[in-house]
Amino acid sequence: MAHILIIDDEQPVRKSLREIFEYEGHKVSEAATGMDGVLAASKKGVDVVFCDVKMPQMDGLDVLDMFAKKGISMPVVMISGHGTVETAVASLHKGAYDFIQKPLDLNRILVTLRNALEREVLVATHEVLQKKVNQTQQVSIIGSSRGIQEILGMIDTVAPTEARVLVMGPNGAGKELVARQIHNLSPRAQGPFVEVNCAAIPSELIESELFGHEKGAFTSAVAMRKGKFEQAEGGTLFLDEVGDMSASAQAKVLRALQEHKISRVGSDADIAVNVRVVAATNKDLKAAIAEGTFREDLFHRLAVVPMHVPSLAERKEDIPLLVEHFLKVLCASSGRTEPKVTKGALDKLGTGDWTGNIRELRNAVERLLIFCPKEGAIDEALVIKYGII
């Protein structure tokens, strides 16, 4: 059952709509003026509004303006006996869900109501999923070691600027987390965060992936496709493993950074882009420059602010905090009670090499949780048996 608000200065119209909606099992409220309608819609619980366009003092378009100012958001169906294309378009531009002309058609009303209610369900579902995505993406950088505190301080300083950042460090050290944190704390936080793993894309496809292509640009280009630069418009483009990028792609990325323009594969037309680039690598780019496999001018464009993320071996004092964090996350997702971890277990974990860094430690914690008895603790014996490979 939905709660429907009818805003119309004509009592016969309100009565007809009320009878239709109540017959379908819905709750109905009425308002004879635009202002009364705004006050009624301000109260929680209204799902859909049917609003007349032509009313004295405050017409339907004014009602839509008031809804926007007050942050009232629900589907609004406009109804009018003097409907014109211009009025309909104006209503939709102001946020109306649909526009129905008088005399009112029963089937049209019911179909519109059903679609409006389904839309609300989809919007609510999307908001829930978006919150889950944001929670997943906004993972904190865990650690109290000097190296991590320096990184966090640099992020706080650099994030509000437009400076390009080159994040360096071994695989699994958390370079992507640093990039996401820079994005989340920047003025571009409401824009997209688009990631490209340059090492995972074949060299012959990297240009198409980054810059897009026109239809017919190559054999499998059956339609025009926007690249990652365009997809990241207004946000942040994260170029992961940038040291593995092909020479031709490096040249195009350099041009994009210099001129803030790109061109799709198969086209000479320039497209302006507004993107902040954060790059990451596990390679020694200066050595790659000396070997001739990476452009020095691109390196200097990317490394306006260089950051080095320490390996886990350089920050072993953070292992207890990381273990605690991973246990909370894993237990929350599985519904399991968080087990205790003994000092002996933590000391033993501290002796590991952890060449896979944070990623390897997380896997170890998950493995220990799996084999830990339901009412038991993660102790040194369990770590020796399952914790360190």
154 in any annotated domain: yes
Note whether 200 and 321 are same-domain residues.
Answer: no
286 in any annotated domain: yes
Residue where a domain stops, chosen among 100, 133, 166: 133
Note whether 304 and 326 are same-domain residues.
Answer: no
Nearest one of 73, 83, 180 to 137, comparing CA atoms: 180
pLDDT of residue 137: 47
Using CA atoms, how far apart are residues 22 and 233, in angstroms rounded to an integer?
47
Note whether 101 and 32 are same-domain residues.
Answer: yes
Q: Helical H runs in the chain?
A: 11-23, 34-42, 60-70, 85-93, 106-137, 146-158, 175-184, 206-211, 228-231, 247-259, 285-291, 296-302, 319-334, 343-349, 357-371, 380-382
Mean pLDDT for each consecutive 10-residue tract of the chain (389 residues)?
92 93 93 93 88 91 91 89 79 89 88 87 64 52 94 96 96 94 95 93 86 83 87 96 92 93 89 95 96 96 96 95 94 90 95 94 95 92 88
Give the residues across from 341 on adjacent strands: 378
Q: Would you mind telling me the total number of residues written for the chain in this entry?
A: 389
Note whether 186 and 331 are same-domain residues.
Answer: no
Note whether 284 and 343 are same-domain residues.
Answer: no
140 in any annotated domain: no
Note whether 340 and 202 are same-domain residues.
Answer: no
Residue where a domain stops, chosen among 105, 133, 161: 133
141 in any annotated domain: no
139 in any annotated domain: no
CATH number reported for the structural domain that contains residue 223 in this entry: 3.40.50.300
> Six-digit token pair at 336?
């399991």
Note whether 233 and 365 are same-domain residues.
Answer: no
Using CA atoms, how far apart are residues 51 and 34, in angstroms rounded to an integer?
8
CATH number reported for the structural domain that contains residue 359 in this entry: 1.10.8.60
How many angstroms from the chain centroid is the CA of residue 177? 14
pLDDT of residue 93: 86
pLDDT of residue 41: 92
pLDDT of residue 103: 84
347 in any annotated domain: yes
Note whether 304 and 170 are same-domain residues.
Answer: yes
Note whether 284 and 319 are same-domain residues.
Answer: no
Residue where a domain stops, chosen among 111, 133, 155: 133
Q: DSSP secondary-structure letter at 372?
A: S
pLDDT of residue 374: 85
pLDDT of residue 102: 83
138 in any annotated domain: no
pLDDT of residue 135: 46
Note whether 200 and 317 are same-domain residues.
Answer: no
Note whether 123 and 266 are same-domain residues.
Answer: no
Range of the domain at 70: 3-133
What global pTM score does this model have? 0.65
Using CA atoms, how far apart are residues 389 and 385, in angstroms rounded to an integer?
9
User: Which residue do the tokens 């309909």 mark?
Assistant: 88
pLDDT of residue 126: 57
Judge whether 305 and 164 are in contact, CB under 8 Å.
yes
Note whether 247 and 358 are same-domain residues.
Answer: no
How many domains are there within the chain?
3
pLDDT of residue 136: 47
pLDDT of residue 139: 54
